[in-house]
């Protein structure tokens, strides 16, 4: 069966969407082969069949599925004989707390650090769209972010403290092996480390070790830069 | 079997320790009857048999157990036929993320709001101990907190956003029924609402509804004020 993921790309080919990374790890978790199509923010017409204009969009045979959470639920339902993305119902419910924390605490803190970097690395055809939508979202001009980067990094470290402690105590958010909760948080930190012009992590950081363990679980070592 | 919990108290009898609340809910979850002994911060000698000086301390027959997490693990191991506090291993692992988030993000944000209120409501014999330890912990004089309460409330709201969203979408952190993850977060918010001199929640707040559902699950409605 053909399986294709539309995957957000920067001008240099870097695939940086946190939501696409979630899906790439979920597909690996379920041992499902796929190809990616690099996609730019302004290529809305390419996604028309999905009925909306954002990635990830997964073409799975005749099925077209968008939104990372809906894709994860689709994969769990469609491929029940592969490893579960969620575990038992209480684990799935708790992974929804991780999702809300990632999207409402971690993503905003990361965005303050990387939004100007991302703008610089986009294809020129995407830059105006990105500027307009992100300045509206964040309430500031992109040019203001570079000057406050050191404060943004301090705030990010504060948001990351519980995660850093957790991943010093245990191998993965989900315990002995990663699951959807790990995929969600990995997507966020991968977005950050791929796009930040300054390092987000010091060598030896528990978060780096965890990211390598996640990639290693799925045989993806070396697929991305180490920091 | 005799079962007794040493439970931190304010001068007026309010039992406000977030860690003791965790254990009271865990005991209710396992359907285990117990009595409490009100305990003051400076009554270190009363806990001597536990080998340390903080509550919660649980006397369970001949066993003496301290530290809320160690108590939860003890209860799970000792009473395996009662409802599980954790669920399957991935759920337990994810509840450890909730624990780290509660202790490293939520507790510090709540402390900024309530630490001066708590000091005012302690028995006089506890006040100097509390001042010394908390001022060292927080790096500020207790008198400085009242002036910055409005900022502390704004920061608290920001920390609570993911939780508020989650509990609009689902009944409990652990899904359809509360477990240890709910007990941990309930303890934090119960500590806050019992001790804050200004309301932490607006009527209709999803967090209030959740707190009532947690209490209702264990037949504890009306045991504490509504806000």
Q: What is the pLDDT of residue A223?
A: 62
How many other C-beta atoms are found inside a 10 Å radius of the C-beta of residue A70?
12
A96 interaction partners in chain B (CB closer than 8 Å): 166, 169-170
Q: How far is CA B139 from CA B111, B119, B133, B224, in A?
A: 12, 16, 10, 32
Interval A108-130 mean pLDDT: 98
Task: Enter the ipTM.
Answer: 0.96
Nearest chain A Cα distance for residue B180, angstroms: 11
C-alpha A165/C-alpha A160 separation (Å) is 9
Assigned CATH for A89-217: 1.20.1050.10
Could you read off the pLDDT of B48-69 as tens digits, one per residue?
999 999 999 999 999 999 999 9
C-alpha B123/C-alpha B38 separation (Å) is 12
Interval A29-54 mean pLDDT: 97
* Residue A125 pLDDT greater than 90, yes or no: yes
CB-based contact B100 A176, cutoff 8 Å: no
Q: What is the pLDDT of residue A226?
A: 43
C-alpha B90/C-alpha A86 separation (Å) is 8
Interval B76-88 mean pLDDT: 97
- Identify the three-state secondary structure at position B48: helix
Q: What is the pLDDT of residue B221?
A: 80
What percent of chain B shows pLDDT beyond 70? 97
CB-based contact B91 A94, cutoff 8 Å: yes
> Are B87 and A88 a contacting pair, CB within 8 Å?
yes
B153 touches chain A (CB under 8 A): no
Q: What is the pLDDT of residue B223?
A: 62
Interval A46-65 mean pLDDT: 97
Interval B209-223 mean pLDDT: 92
How many other C-beta atoms are found inside a 10 Å radius of the C-beta of residue B46?
15
CB-based contact A90 B91, cutoff 8 Å: yes
Interval A29-51 mean pLDDT: 97
* Residue A227 pLDDT greater than 60, yes or no: no
What percent of chain B shows pLDDT beyond 90? 96
* Residue A160 pLDDT greater than 60, yes or no: yes
CB-based contact A161 B105, cutoff 8 Å: yes
A108 touches chain B (CB under 8 A): no
What percent of chain A shows pLDDT beyond 90? 96
Residue A86 DSSP class: S
Nearest chain A Cα distance for residue B206, angstroms: 14
Q: Where are the domains of chain B?
A: 3-78, 89-217
Pairing of strands A3-8, A35-39: parallel
* Residue B30 pLDDT greater than 50, yes or no: yes
CB-based contact A161 B103, cutoff 8 Å: no
> Are B94 and B39 a contacting pair, CB within 8 Å?
no
Which of A93, A100, A161 is the closest to B175 by Cβ?
Answer: A93
CB-based contact A90 B165, cutoff 8 Å: no
Confidence of residue B1 (pLDDT cuts 50, 70, 90): confident
Assigned CATH for B3-78: 3.40.30.10
CB < 8 Å from A in window 178-207 of B: 179, 181
Burial label for A115, CB within 10 Å (0-12, 13-18, 19+), is buried
Q: What is the pLDDT of residue A225?
A: 54
Interval A162-166 mean pLDDT: 98
Interval A130-154 mean pLDDT: 96
Interval B101-114 mean pLDDT: 98
Which of A87, A92, A162 is the closest to B100 by Cβ?
Answer: A162
A96 touches chain B (CB under 8 A): yes
């Amino acid at each position: 069966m053909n399986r294709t993921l539309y995957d957000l790309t920067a001008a240099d080919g870097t695939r940086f969407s946190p939501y696409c990374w979630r899906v790439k790890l979920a597909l690996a978790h379920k041992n499902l082969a796929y190809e990616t199509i690099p996609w730019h923010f302004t290529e809305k017409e390419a996604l028309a069949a999905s009925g909306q204009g954002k990635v990830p969009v997964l073409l799975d045979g005749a099925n077209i599925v968008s939104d990372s959470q809906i894709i994860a639920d689709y994969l769990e339902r469609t491929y029940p004989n592969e490893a579960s993305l969620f575990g038992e119902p209480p684990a799935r419910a708790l992974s929804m707390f991780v999702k809300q924390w990632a999207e409402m605490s971690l993503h905003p803190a990361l965005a303050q650090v990387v939004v100007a970097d991302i703008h610089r690395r986009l294809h020129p055809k995407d830059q105006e769209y990105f500027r307009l939508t992100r300045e509206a979202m964040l309430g500031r001009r992109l040019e203001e972010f570079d000057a406050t980067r050191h404060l943004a990094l301090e705030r990010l470290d504060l948001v990351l403290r519980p995660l850093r402690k957790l991943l010093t105590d245990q191998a993965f958010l989900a315990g002995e092996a990663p699951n959807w909760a790990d995929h969600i948080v990995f997507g966020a930190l991968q977005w950050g480390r791929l796009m930040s012009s300054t390092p987000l992590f010091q060598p030896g950081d528990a978060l780096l070790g965890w990211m390598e363990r996640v990639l290693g679980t799925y045989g993806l070592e070396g697929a991305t830069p180490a920091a």
